[in-house]
Structure 1
């Protein structure tokens, strides 16, 4: 049953109660139109209103008969079932509190507002207080590496006993201020396995911020691998760091009630693992620096001792803020190394929506062969020779009936279109245009009439998306949740899922590119799924 709150604002005149009941009658008449069931409004009454009602009762000249009539009328509308369950004066269900200024909020101790905040925290986090980790951004743009870094952040959150707010996504990036929900790129269920189910969606975080009478306290934490000396460096500033501030431009509109005016930044420059420091040492520094003074009662693991090789820069350890006291840590994460050891089962999968889209795209292509050629930073001089090597590999595979499995389509995906140059700089374009054009001509000629591969259709990533958009009415979206087909992140992830589902897969060796993280992710998936469904091999290398 849905309850409606009616706030009374009448004065202390004798007719106050009567006018209030007339308002209720009008409300119920509107509610009853077209409904068989009367929804019961629960009035929201403050102590001031109660005093006015008592004063009105004392000043009423109508005697007991008038009062009994009012009681009957009120009971008739506000009892839940049966007779004689009188509820007059109305039940006090909540006492609204005015939001105070940010400075006075921080000075309050235990108060009705604090108590209400604890109740809201319990509702959203299962206990009070909520301790959250909000990902401002991950600068990495490669989807496979983003997945890896998200797993690391989930591990950090477990160490800190905090709940991760799943970031938004968009344009191949991950961060709070991106446009689309997390599940546009990634699977929430597999993420929950890695996060121990201590996660919060961005919409829930916004609701939590808006509902809390006390604005959550915040602290920016920027972590990178920028240490240049032998020690990890921890610095503290009383304002938001510039690089973090650029990722927080949406906060004024999306999180209006979030307290930021007293937010400082703790910057941690970790030593890259490649410089001889074990990842466990850097992980211990990070966890200890962020959990000083925290309650470890519910923590699953004991925090290791703080290593001595810690340089606090211009800030002494005694002056560092207690990060554990902040309701929300705002995390800027630019760490490429695996600091925390994690199980392989904690891998984050791509969104089921993208898998469904890939199934639709490849339905008419199966069985097909997929090519992934990563040519970024490849010397232009080798492009024609590598194109010849690719055509030779395709010729061998497709003309072998025991291998080709009735394949009729070759899907070509690359970090550059078949119609684009290998480099975007003008100087590089002038130097490589002839070689790149020659490579394009070699590939296209192989599929043209009279070419070695004329029996097969060459399908490009760009052509696939064009037809997909046309199939969906040219709206640029897919499914009832409006999956954005024009988003570069959606396109990148979809391209590798299409390669994962191919019967055969071909990629370049070091001499003709490199085994990129995308190709590596595809081959890892195919190694696990080989001989299941349409997948018939892992990878074939050319060059």
Structure 2
């Protein structure tokens, strides 16, 4: 006997193409964009093993989380992302919320957390079931790390398949506060939005060939900043003379537009940091005039001019955000790349590692001088 569809089944078919909807919604990722990009693509694996639909959270201020202001495609190319994962179904946060509003019987959700407490990585569910993996199990050989992550994915999957835990729940909501990745690595980044790519191309076309400098001041000794700026000018002069490259692009976490730093963990901007910016001439005074080097930035290149002064995007450009992604792309494509020397800032980060990985891929094709 064929039963007519209920109102909720019709709504489910509209959003999920099936009578029953099953979602996985990692609604808050603790890390900034470069690492959050890694985390959100790791959830494609859990989505696949649970046979659910992945809800793509909002983005903004270099974060991927539900409370951000802009849709996922403000940072990322949804079409290209889907093409990379043809077997996985995606839905945007806005579509997910529309589904919950239209439902006659409100859906029930299971809340789970990815946490890092002390030396352990943990996954816990609403029923207070907690799984822990000791940190010491993670380190060592790549094979050991891979085995650990595969085991964790299997453990979480099997737990979330237990009927008493998630059997009736149409949505699994995940709060991810762990900085480390606990599922198997997926190297390919989520492609950035066509708008960001176009903005980066404008800069590349104007500056090619150029030297890119990524100076993350956050972890540097503040009193060394002016000296570091002078040393940077000297180093750049040598590189310019050696390779005949004139143009220089600076990517930094210092708030060039007077807002908040581009790193959300950079809290103490001192007079030494400001002096360093003066030495580089980024305040318009060009103290390094005897060895004058013109530093271009996303601001001097007038990036995102169409939206930068729109009140809707004001908070995005007053701190970490879309311009950090632009900086990354410009650094990746530079003929020569420089990062902070020891004592002058954070030497290694996921951001600089991501740049180096992509530069390695482009090195021969684009005849890059260094990685």
Q: Specify if TM > 0.5.
A: yes
Per the alignment, residue 133 of structure 2 pairs with 271
C-alpha distance in structure 1 between counterparts of 2:307 and 2:101, whole Å: 38
Per the alignment, residue 144 of structure 2 pairs with none
What secondary structure does 1:410 align onto?
strand
Question: What are the within-5 Å matches in structure 2 for residues 245-394 of structure 1?
Answer: 268=130, 270-271=132-133, 273-274=135-136, 276=138, 278-293=148-163, 321-345=164-188, 347-394=189-236
Please give the root-mean-square deviation of Cα atoms over the aligned residues, in Å. 3.7
Residues 383 and 438 (structure 1), Cα distance of their counterparts in 2 relative to 1, 3 Å cut: same
Report 1 or 2 for greater relative contact order, CA contacts < 8 Å, sequence distance ≥ 6.
2
Residues 396 and 356 (structure 1), Cα distance of their counterparts in 2 relative to 1, 3 Å cut: same
Contact kept? 1:154, 1:195, Cα under 8 Å: no
Per the alignment, residue 523 of structure 1 pairs with 356
Per the alignment, residue 335 of structure 2 pairs with 503
What secondary structure does 2:191 align onto?
coil
C-alpha distance in structure 1 between counterparts of 2:248 and 2:198, whole Å: 21
- Pairwise CA distance, 1:475: 3.9
Contact kept? 1:476, 1:486, Cα under 8 Å: no
C-alpha distance in structure 1 between counterparts of 2:336 and 2:62, whole Å: 27
C-alpha distance in structure 2 between counterparts of 1:450 and 1:234, whole Å: 58
Contact kept? 1:477, 1:485, Cα under 8 Å: no
C-alpha distance in structure 1 between counterparts of 2:238 and 2:21, whole Å: 60
Question: What are the within-5 Å matches in structure 2 for residues 454-533 of structure 1?
Answer: 454=292, 456-464=293-301, 467-468=302-303, 471-472=305-306, 475-476=309-310, 488-513=320-345, 514-532=347-365
Structure 1 residue runs of 5 or longer lacking an equivalent are 1-109, 238-265, 294-320
What secondary structure does 2:321 align onto?
helix
- Pairwise CA distance, 1:268: 4.3
Structure 2 residue runs of 5 or longer lacking an equivalent are 140-147
Question: What are the within-5 Å matches in structure 2 for residues 108-119 of structure 1?
Answer: 115-119=6-10
- Pairwise CA distance, 1:381: 4.0
C-alpha distance in structure 2 between counterparts of 1:233 and 1:487, whole Å: 31
- Pairwise CA distance, 1:409: 2.3
What does the per-residue CA deviation read over 1:226-256, in whole Å, with 9 as the maximum and x for residues that have no partner? 2667x9574646xxxxxxxxxxxxxxxxxxx
Per the alignment, residue 151 of structure 1 pairs with 41
What does the per-residue CA deviation read over 1:17-53, in whole Å, with 9 as the maximum and x for residues that have no partner? xxxxxxxxxxxxxxxxxxxxxxxxxxxxxxxxxxxxx
Structure 1 residue aligned with 2:252, among 414, 420, 430? 414
What secondary structure does 1:127 align onto?
coil
What secondary structure does 2:106 align onto?
coil
- Structure 1 stretch displaced more, 197-206 or 485-494: 485-494
- Pairwise CA distance, 1:398: 0.4
Structure 2 residue aligned with 1:207, among 85, 92, 98? 98
- Structure 1 stretch displaced more, 146-155 or 438-447: 438-447
- Pairwise CA distance, 1:273: 3.7
What secondary structure does 1:411 align onto?
strand
The alignment's TM-score, normalised by the length of structure 2, stands at 0.80
What secondary structure does 1:180 align onto?
coil
Residues 275 and 497 (structure 1), Cα distance of their counterparts in 2 relative to 1, 3 Å cut: same
Per the alignment, residue 222 of structure 1 pairs with 113
What secondary structure does 1:396 align onto?
helix
What does the per-residue CA deviation read over 1:322-359, in whole Å, with 9 as the maximum and x for residues that have no partner? 313201111111233332224434x3122222111222
Q: Bigger radius of gyration, 1 or 2? A: 1
C-alpha distance in structure 1 between counterparts of 2:134 and 2:322, whole Å: 31
